[in-house]
Amino acid sequence: MAENIEKIYGQNAENIGLLTTTDFRILERLERGEEIDVEEFTRGRDPISASIILHGGLFAYNRARMAGQVSPPAVQTERRPMTLCEKIIAAHAVVDARSGKLGVEAVKPGDALFVRTDVRFSHEYVTPMAEALFREGFGPEARVSEPESVFAFRDHLTFLDKVMPPAHLKMGLREQAQSLATVQETFSKQQSIKLYGEVYRDGKLVGSEGICHNKVIEDIALPGQLVAGTDSHTCMAGSLGCFAFGVGSTDMANAWYTRDIRVKVPETVRFVLRGKMPPGVCAKDVMLHILSQEFFKSGQGIGKVLEFAGDGVASMPLDERSTLTNMAVEAGGFTGIIEADEVVVSYLAKQRGLDPDQVRGRLVKADEGAHYLATFEIQLDSLVPMVATPGDPRNGVPLAQLQGSAPAIHIAYGGSCTGGKKADMDMYASVLKTALDRGRRVADGVRLFIQFGSQDIRRYAEQQGYIEIFEKVGAELIDPSCGACIKAGPGVSESPDEVTVSAINRNFPGRSGPGKVYLASPLVVAASAITGRISGPEAL
């Protein structure tokens, strides 16, 4: 029982037969010793959720569904103009689970259905849990369906032992964490799943092949696809024009077997970006500005799709678009998405060697006249550098507001999936080269970390000569992996009085250590490392 129940948690609870409710009157009745009819827990749920609850969980329900013993109600929505996400959902709707028939004429917000995934992925923090559920639900000999569309990543806990407290080491938690990677590797081999694993140089472990979100964009997802991953930032792939969203371990375990994920069609909010960003402003500032608006601060954005459009988005490179979609979930959003265009076509042709015409044939566009819950227009040329003060990504304020009171920092962290892309490396290097040219290095008492989102991004930095700049200025370089962003690698704070300025996506209390975390753009992170306090490049 809770006042609010987050989507992935709520679905995980339903999937394993755990009853949830926001009706505290039921608690009072239980305290009086009353019996509660199970229908009290299905009231207000969509038909699929209600049926899953009555079956005692998703595994039992799906066994019956795949056997043809039960079917979700058919989507009855008549033809209508649809948003980008709605069109992708409609095309992937499962009409008949046994025959594999897909596609309905239209969907609308609130429709509940199963959709067929094109890409399923998980990382080592979740794969072992999902694997245990998979075996329990479908039997020890169960096989993953179409394993060529399933991917595993060793990327979340690669560097955990570098920051694990001595007390935890004594408890054997390092070995337990390592065992998660071992279970994932074994499962991947048994099921013929591609595993993006660890990278060694000179016989020494240096990191991962890449953070899952970066690699999904670099290697895997395509426009118009439906992508499900065991991480809320799966939405980052929405920059390719696909419907990408996070799911829990129970949903992934079922999707391994059925390829299907249940979805309740979400409302879409449209952000039309106009003009061009002024110097010193980048996509991170755009998102911190958007998240600071009342629509998100009041919780109205929870569960909504954020669709970004306009000439302002069209002029952004793919990496900057990926910052927008990555951070769409920071106020509880469902996902973020951007209509794929020639920027995406060119990227995929160059990155993967794909035929441009074949990529163009996959592009999906929103219908003229599609309904949006709300539409906001943002003039990019009016924006300024932003900083989110500690505690919440929605705490965005103009950087200039901190003038005179900008705190001294102990850590400047550039990296993670959000801040470890090629365009981010360009920004770090531009600021740090200026500092070097002026005879400046990382300020005394400050540690600057720069972490690459993938080995491909690291190679790019090497080719551009950035590695030499980073090292000369005094930065500590970290190979790809999730790290300080989830308190699992170099760059975490060690005491409450430490201050970090970071290019990651979240600054919730304790997430990157006990200290205070300010979110900012790569430009501000690099400049702050040189000045010793939160500041922009103009302060160099």
Distance between CA atoms of residues 106 and 15, nearest Å: 27
Residue among 330, 337, 336, 324 nearest 299 (CA): 330
Number of domains in the chain: 2
Mean pLDDT across the stretch 80-107? 95
3-state DSSP helix/strand/coil % of the chain, to nearest 5: 40, 20, 40
User: Facing residues of 228 across strands?
Assistant: 120, 245
Residue 27 domain-assigned? yes
Q: Which residue has the higher pLDDT, 274 or 173?
A: 274
Instruction: Single out the residue in 74, 105, 123 at which a domain terminates.
Output: 74
Q: Is the pLDDT at 6 greater than 90, yes or no?
A: no
Q: Is the pLDDT at 418 greater than 90, yes or no?
A: yes
Q: Give backbone dihedrals phi and psi of 349, rounded to 5 degrees, phi first.
A: -65, -40
Q: Please tell me the predicted confidence (pLDDT) of residue 234.
A: 96
Helix 466-473 / helix 455-463 crossing angle, nearest 10 deg: 90
Q: Is the pLDDT at 445 greater than 90, yes or no?
A: yes
Distance between CA atoms of residues 138 and 58, nearest Å: 11
Q: Of the ranges 60-74, 274-288, 308-322, which one carries the lowest mean pLDDT score?
A: 60-74
Percent pLDDT > 70 in the chain is 100
Query: How does residue 211 score in pLDDT terms, banded at 50, 70 and 90?
Result: very high
Q: Is the pLDDT at 142 greater than 90, yes or no?
A: yes
Instruction: Note the helical H segments in 277-384.
Output: 283-291, 294-297, 311-314, 318-326, 342-352, 356-360
Q: Is the pLDDT at 44 greater than 90, yes or no?
A: no
Query: How does residue 99 score in pLDDT terms, banded at 50, 70 and 90?
Result: confident
Q: Is the pLDDT at 540 greater than 90, yes or no?
A: yes
Residues 6+ apart with CB under 8 A from 89: 107, 113, 115, 226, 243, 263, 265
Distance between CA atoms of residues 158 and 123, nearest Å: 11
Mean pLDDT of the chain: 95
Query: How does residue 50 score in pLDDT terms, banded at 50, 70 and 90?
Result: very high
Whats the size of the chain, residue-wise? 540
Q: Is the pLDDT at 57 greater than 90, yes or no?
A: yes
Query: How does residue 483 score in pLDDT terms, banded at 50, 70 and 90?
Result: confident
Q: Is 202 exposed, middle or buried (0-12, 13-18, 19+ CB in 10 A)?
A: exposed
User: Facing residues of 153 across strands?
Assistant: 123, 196
For residue 469, give the 3-state DSSP assignment. helix
Residue among 56, 166, 73 nearest 111 (CA): 73
Query: How does residue 11 score in pLDDT terms, banded at 50, 70 and 90?
Result: confident
Task: Identify the domain containing residue 57 by its residue range.
Answer: 1-74
Residue 154 domain-assigned? no
Number of DSSP helices (H) and strands (E) in the chain, helices first = 22, 22
Q: Is the pLDDT at 358 greater than 90, yes or no?
A: yes
Pair 269, 303: CB distance under 8 Å: no
Pair 247, 228: CB distance under 8 Å: yes
Distance between CA atoms of residues 89 and 264, nearest Å: 10
Distance between CA atoms of residues 414 and 30, nearest Å: 50
Residue 204 domain-assigned? no
Phi-psi region of 421 (alpha: psi -120 to 50; beta: other; left: phi over 0): beta
User: Facing residues of 112 across strands?
Assistant: 264
Residue 346 domain-assigned? no
Q: Please tell me the predicted confidence (pLDDT) of residue 22.
A: 92
Residue 89 domain-assigned? no
Q: Is the pLDDT at 406 greater than 90, yes or no?
A: no
**CATH number of the CATH domain containing 476:** 3.30.499.10
Instruction: Single out the residue in 31, 56, 74 at which a domain terminates.
Output: 74
Q: Please tell me the predicted confidence (pLDDT) of residue 224.
A: 98
Angle ∠(400,394,479) on CA atoms, nearest 5: 85
Query: How does residue 448 score in pLDDT terms, banded at 50, 70 and 90?
Result: very high
Residue 58 domain-assigned? yes
Instruction: Single out the residue in 34, 54, 74 at which a domain terminates.
Output: 74
Distance between CA atoms of residues 528 and 534, nearest Å: 5
Residue 499 domain-assigned? yes
Q: Give backbone dihedrals phi and psi of 303, rounded to 5 degrees, phi first.
A: 80, 5
Pair 291, 393: CB distance under 8 Å: yes
Residue 444 domain-assigned? yes
